[in-house]
A and B are shown apart, each in its own frame.
Chain A
Amino acid sequence: MALEVQSLESAVVRFAGDSGDGMQLTGSQFTNSTALSGNDLATFPDFPAEIRAPVGTTFGVSAFQINFGATSIKTVGDQPDVLVAMNPAALKVNLGNLRKGGMLVLDEGSFTTRNLQKAGYADNPVEGDALDGYQVIKLDISKMTMEAVKDFGLGNKEALRCKNMWTLGLMLWMYTRKRQPVVDWLEKKFAKKPEIANANIAALNAGHAYGETSELSAHIHQYEVEPVHAEPGIYRTVTGSQALSWGIAAGGDLSGLEVMFGSYPITPASPILHTLSGMKELGIVTFQAEDEIAAICAALGASYAGALGVTSSSGPGIALKTEALGLAISTELPLVVINSQRGGPSTGLPTKTEQSDLYQAIYGRNGDAPMPVVTTRSPGDCFEVAIEACRLAVKYMTPVMLLTDGFIANAAEPWKLPDLDAIEPFPASQAKTPEGDETFNPFLRDEETLARNWGVPGVKGTEHRIGGIEKSYDTGHISYDPDNHQKMTDTRFAKIDGIAGDIPDQVVDQGEDSGTLAVVGWGSTYGPIEEAVKRARADGLSVSHIHLRYLNPFPKNLESLLKGFDKILVPEMNNGQLKTVLRDKFLLDAKPFTQISGLPFKISDLLGAIRAEIAS
């Protein structure tokens, strides 16, 4: 008996299982089908740092959460409406977060004594009353998968590996998503192993058929989430790493420079190295260096030779690059440095997200060494910000730090494809052979931008020597002169500060441009802050949301904008770093709201902080 299809505005589904259960693939395929259904969405891949933790343990649990809806979705959702738990450990780790009354889909077949023991369950939670208050759907997914794939001649282990596709089939049915994109993907992925492809497709179909034909429960409906009303255009899903890589490639095109990307593997930044390494046809040079230092040095060497050097890492790797960053600042060469932030200090939480490298970006070098810092708020935003980082680097002859984070790097969202031809180019200017009596001075500056004269090897007549020793303002030769050092330091700061005049004024994302409380954020906290402010405003509170892209220098109207509010609250996934910078630059009483758990903010927590700050 088929129940009627119920319409939902949005839903949060979390797939959880062992690291070997293929939850990331399941989640990303569900995401793809959801995107093709026209929903807005946000995803949160949440996986352990270990490649393969011991099977069945709680620390080996890997999860993928997706929030999708018929309206604009900016967060991954505070609490899942549906939790799919492929084993006892996944249940144990994730149950606490499931919405009361939410749906729990369990693979009963995996709740063996051994697995329960490994997860630390004394009693089987499926049998007692521990799961009262949830809609529990107990299915022997393992058994049904084995049954579905028995004709394909796979070994037991391989056959069982198809159970994520069985589960996906069921969830696709439940949310009326299309199966065909997954089938296409499986056929492509296993083109050389058709028996594996066919077994997985059979499992997918079996899961779907199970939903169609069985009466799961009188309470279980099939759901439909209408397409979101979005701007017309062509869309695809994109992760932060993809959008960032494409933005770098676009930055190369727009500047007319060849991109030379030097990097060293590190979580969660490596996908950028992988993506750019697969784009050689665009004339992008990629170099996997022997270490983080060599990665930035090779990029800087390429910039010295006239290319656009780009390097990418995460906090610990950025720390290693610091000395070379100083050289880039001193020699005033263009360079883009991407930091996909993760939990710190030291190795910290490699696969978890944090925003704790802001001090490192703004202040973290020896000497007075200013550099621009820009940041991304969402996966799609990475494209534009990467282009902007390239523009500033080339126009101002400076390294630029681009801060993103592990959450943005891995998360996916629908993205309206940009019109590449509509982006304003910013052709790089390099010195030509001097004519007549002209002599070449590498530190001759552009009057407006203060950028120095970029002479590159291979050009006759602009031969010169530069390095990390202080240079004479007038000639570019080595200078130990005290007054000259003061002047050069002042000039380096003036050049970076001057960028404030070349970036857009800060806008208010939501709310009035003055009032009781401004909630000021940066980076991947955009979604939760936006939603929390929306709810606070719906409650009649005088709150505005201001989200920064430019962290150094700040937009020139930011100080006066912030001074129009009685109170300023700065939510950050660190111990209050932007709060300090705002106080430093503007002598403002900015208040911190911090969370250093390796997880994104919950809307409810932010809403509580907003209420408390207004009431204080």
Chain B
Amino acid sequence: MNEMTTPQEKLTIKDFTSDQEVRWCPGCGDYAILKCMQRTLPELGATRENTVFVSGIGCSSRFPYYMDTYGFHTIHGRAPAIATGVKLAKPELDVWVITGDGDGLSIGGNHLMHAIRRDVDLNILLFNNQIYGLTKGQYSPTSVVGTKTPSTPQGSVDPTLNPIAFALGSGARFVARTVDTAQKHMPDVFKRAHAFKGASFVEILQNCIVYNDAIWEEITNKKTAPDHQLLLEHGMPMIFGAERNKGIIFNAKSFALEVVTIGENGITEGDILVHDETSLQMARMLGDLGENPSEPAPMGVIYAAEADQSYVDAVRGQMVSEKGKRSLKDIIHGGQTWVVE
């Protein structure tokens, strides 16, 4: 039997660009992420009708308005919960959650944790600029200690939350990191996140030009970037640095990852750790790497577990296995009944 397939019309960046005027501050990192998404979706073979962007509240959460897909701009912190409902109701949809460090890790921390724990098939993008932008510059859960803001004039004292460690601690099965300026790296991360069946968590380092400018400068500046970011590739040694002579080893004595220089202290390339994105233990250590400024920030896919049955399939699977066993009438008539003549 011949299967008839309708030829897929070739979509372009234009097809995913809505007619709404983009209203982020000039120079905001969000523009680059938006463009990258509009560019990447056609490459993923995504359709407008089956793509949904769900966001919370904050600068990043205006994102859905600019995508010519389905979009739901919801309430502060609740996007993962709403997206869970969307996906449970219509599993065939591609659901993206757009959130920020305040929205996702502060007011909505509980929902983010549980969407990740359940492994709901969502692509969760957390724009981390370490600040509340829309409410005019208060410190956020990811702000470094000592950040001076209108609400912390003497500097913040709250310890910083690490989004990658948070996601892994919540049971994430896919965790990655990229940065707003990385127009080549970001699409690859989006593609991997999209392909993962389950909750994929992506931290996007994003610059807030108005309230927290240049916090990612060391990672994004072409001069300093090679020494401050560790580009991960599955199966490849974790080597970085402008001269490609720095690497990561596992120090069994300190039970931690350590930055070493190849050629010093007898270190050879063979001593450098090879990235295994399926290793949860390695992912946990990589998640912590970069908290110390002398360490590079791991970029790319930090963890991607083996495929498993997704939460949505499990939920709907229970419905399918029961289907047709009883009708509503059967249920209502199911108790002890009596007849009045």
Q: Interface of A with B (CB < 8 Å)?
A: 32, 35-36, 38, 181, 227, 230-238, 246, 249-250, 253, 258, 260, 262, 279-285, 287, 289-291, 293-294, 297-307, 309, 323-324, 326-327, 331, 416-418, 420, 457-469, 477-478
Q: Which one of A36, A324, A469 lies within 8 Å of B336 (CB-CB)? A: A36
Q: Interface of B with A (CB < 8 Å)?
A: 18, 20, 47-50, 52, 54-55, 64-65, 67-76, 78, 81-90, 92-93, 110-111, 113-114, 315-316, 318-319, 322-329, 331-333, 335-341
From known contacts A461-B49, A464-B71, infer whether A234 and B89 are also in contact, taking CB-CB under 8 Å.
no
Q: Ordered nearest first, which 5 A-B pairs have the shortest CB separation?
A: A301-B85, A467-B73, A298-B85, A465-B71, A297-B81
Residues of B with C-beta under 8 A to A298: 81-82, 84-85, 88
Q: Which one of A232, A236, A297, A478 lies within 8 Å of B337 (CB-CB)? A: A236
Residues of A with C-beta under 8 A to B319: 280-281, 283-285
B79 vs chain A, min Cβ distance (A): 8
Residues of A with C-beta under 8 A to B49: 457-463
A sample of 11 inter-chain contacts (CB < 8 A) reads: A230-B340, A235-B338, A236-B333, A236-B338, A281-B324, A282-B326, A285-B316, A297-B82, A300-B85, A460-B47, A477-B20
Main secondary structure on A side of the interface with B = mixed
Q: Are B73 and A305 in contact (CB under 8 A)?
A: no
Residues of A with C-beta under 8 A to B92: 458
Q: How far is the CA of A403 from the CA of B254 in the complex (A)?
A: 60
Q: Are A250 and B328 in contact (CB under 8 A)?
A: yes
A425 vs chain B, min Cβ distance (A): 13
Q: Are B324 and A302 in contact (CB under 8 A)?
A: no
Minimal Cβ-Cβ distance residue in B for A275: B331
From known contacts A235-B337, A298-B82, A301-B84, infer whether A327 and B75 are also in contact, taking CB-CB under 8 Å.
yes
Q: How far is the CA of A258 from the CA of B323 in the complex (A)?
A: 13
A112 vs chain B, min Cβ distance (A): 38
From known contacts A249-B328, A280-B319, A301-B54, infer whether A287 and B88 are also in contact, taking CB-CB under 8 Å.
yes
Residues of B with C-beta under 8 A to A280: 318-319, 322
Residues of A with C-beta under 8 A to B87: 301
Q: Are A466 and B84 in contact (CB under 8 A)?
A: no
Residues of B with C-beta under 8 A to A231: 340
- 16 more contacts with CB within 8 A, not counting A297-B74, A459-B49, A460-B49, are A230-B340, A234-B337, A249-B331, A260-B85, A281-B319, A282-B328, A290-B110, A294-B114, A297-B82, A297-B84, A297-B111, A300-B82, A301-B81, A307-B90, A324-B75, A468-B74
Minimal Cβ-Cβ distance residue in A for B321: A280
Residues of B with C-beta under 8 A to A304: 72, 82, 85-86
Q: How far is the CA of A290 from the CA of B115 in the complex (A)?
A: 9
Q: Are B70 and A464 in contact (CB under 8 A)?
A: yes
Q: How far is the CA of A463 from the CA of B335 in the complex (A)?
A: 46
Residues of A with C-beta under 8 A to B72: 301, 304, 331, 465-467
Residues of A with C-beta under 8 A to B323: 281, 283
Q: Are B89 and A281 in contact (CB under 8 A)?
A: no
From known contacts A236-B337, A260-B88, infer whether A285 and B315 are also in contact, taking CB-CB under 8 Å.
yes
Q: Are B48 and A233 in contact (CB under 8 A)?
A: no
Q: How far is the CA of A517 from the CA of B40 in the complex (A)?
A: 71
Residues of B with C-beta under 8 A to A302: 85-86, 88-89
Q: Are B338 and A327 in contact (CB under 8 A)?
A: no
Of A233, A235, A282, A477, chain B has the most CB atoms within 10 Å of the CB of A282
Q: Are A420 and B89 in contact (CB under 8 A)?
A: no
Minimal Cβ-Cβ distance residue in B for A230: B340
From known contacts A327-B75, A465-B18, infer whether A294 and B340 are also in contact, taking CB-CB under 8 Å.
no
Q: Are B332 and A294 in contact (CB under 8 A)?
A: no
Residues of A with C-beta under 8 A to B73: 465-469
Q: Which one of A35, A236, A297, A331 lies within 8 Å of B85 (CB-CB)? A: A297
Residues of B with C-beta under 8 A to A282: 326-328, 331
B289 vs chain A, min Cβ distance (A): 30
Q: Are A457 and B50 in contact (CB under 8 A)?
A: yes
B216 vs chain A, min Cβ distance (A): 28
Q: How far is the CA of A585 from the CA of B233 in the complex (A)?
A: 68
Residues of A with C-beta under 8 A to B110: 290-291, 294
Residues of B with C-beta under 8 A to A253: 328
Of A231, A260, A458, A477, chain B has the most CB atoms within 10 Å of the CB of A458
From known contacts A233-B340, A280-B319, A478-B65, infer whether A246 and B85 are also in contact, taking CB-CB under 8 Å.
no
B268 vs chain A, min Cβ distance (A): 49
Residues of A with C-beta under 8 A to B322: 280-281
Of B49, B72, B78, chain A has the most CB atoms within 10 Å of the CB of B72
Residues of B with C-beta under 8 A to A236: 332-333, 335-338
Q: How far is the CA of A237 from the CA of B69 in the complex (A)?
A: 49
Minimal Cβ-Cβ distance residue in A for B117: A290
Q: Which one of B52, B65, B81, B328 lies within 8 Å of A289 (CB-CB)? A: B81
Minimal Cβ-Cβ distance residue in B for A469: B73
Q: How far is the CA of A293 from the CA of B193 in the complex (A)?
A: 27
Q: Which one of A232, A281, A289, A290 lies within 8 Å of B341 (CB-CB)? A: A232
Q: Which one of A233, A305, A469 lies within 8 Å of B93 (CB-CB)? A: A305
Minimal Cβ-Cβ distance residue in A for B88: A285
Q: Are B70 and A293 in contact (CB under 8 A)?
A: no
Residues of A with C-beta under 8 A to B18: 465
Residues of B with C-beta under 8 A to A477: 20
Residues of A with C-beta under 8 A to B324: 281
From known contacts A297-B74, A324-B78, infer whether A417 and B337 are also in contact, taking CB-CB under 8 Å.
yes
Q: How far is the CA of A420 from the CA of B81 in the complex (A)?
A: 34
Residues of B with C-beta under 8 A to A249: 328, 331
Q: Which one of A234, A301, A326, A465 lies within 8 Å of B83 (CB-CB)? A: A301
Q: Are A287 and B50 in contact (CB under 8 A)?
A: no
Residues of A with C-beta under 8 A to B111: 290, 293-294, 297
Q: How far is the CA of A584 from the CA of B331 in the complex (A)?
A: 43
Residues of A with C-beta under 8 A to B340: 38, 227, 230-233, 235, 416
Residues of A with C-beta under 8 A to B329: 420
Q: How far is the CA of A469 from the CA of B23 in the complex (A)?
A: 14
Residues of B with C-beta under 8 A to A281: 319, 322-326
Q: How far is the CA of A514 from the CA of B89 in the complex (A)?
A: 50
A282 vs chain B, min Cβ distance (A): 6
Q: How far is the CA of A299 from the CA of B82 in the complex (A)?
A: 7
Minimal Cβ-Cβ distance residue in B for A185: B336
Residues of A with C-beta under 8 A to B337: 234-236, 417
Q: Which one of A283, A287, A469 lies within 8 Å of B84 (CB-CB)? A: A287
Q: How far is the CA of A506 from the CA of B327 in the complex (A)?
A: 34
Q: Are B338 and A234 in contact (CB under 8 A)?
A: yes
Residues of B with C-beta under 8 A to A468: 73-75
Q: Are A465 and B93 in contact (CB under 8 A)?
A: no
Residues of B with C-beta under 8 A to A262: 85
Residues of A with C-beta under 8 A to B90: 305-307, 457-458
Of B54, B326, B333, B338, chain A has the most CB atoms within 10 Å of the CB of B338
Q: Which one of B78, B86, B326, B333 lies within 8 Å of A417 (CB-CB)? A: B333
Of A246, A294, A326, A416, chain B has the most CB atoms within 10 Å of the CB of A294
Residues of B with C-beta under 8 A to A469: 73
Q: Are B332 and A417 in contact (CB under 8 A)?
A: yes
Residues of A with C-beta under 8 A to B20: 465, 477-478
Q: How far is the CA of A293 from the CA of B329 in the complex (A)?
A: 33
Q: How far is the CA of A417 from the CA of B339 in the complex (A)?
A: 10
B104 vs chain A, min Cβ distance (A): 14
Q: How far is the CA of A280 from the CA of B325 in the complex (A)?
A: 9
Q: How far is the CA of A527 from the CA of B91 in the complex (A)?
A: 46
Residues of B with C-beta under 8 A to A289: 81, 114
Minimal Cβ-Cβ distance residue in A for B47: A460
Q: How far is the CA of A457 from the CA of B47 in the complex (A)?
A: 11
B157 vs chain A, min Cβ distance (A): 28
Residues of B with C-beta under 8 A to A291: 110
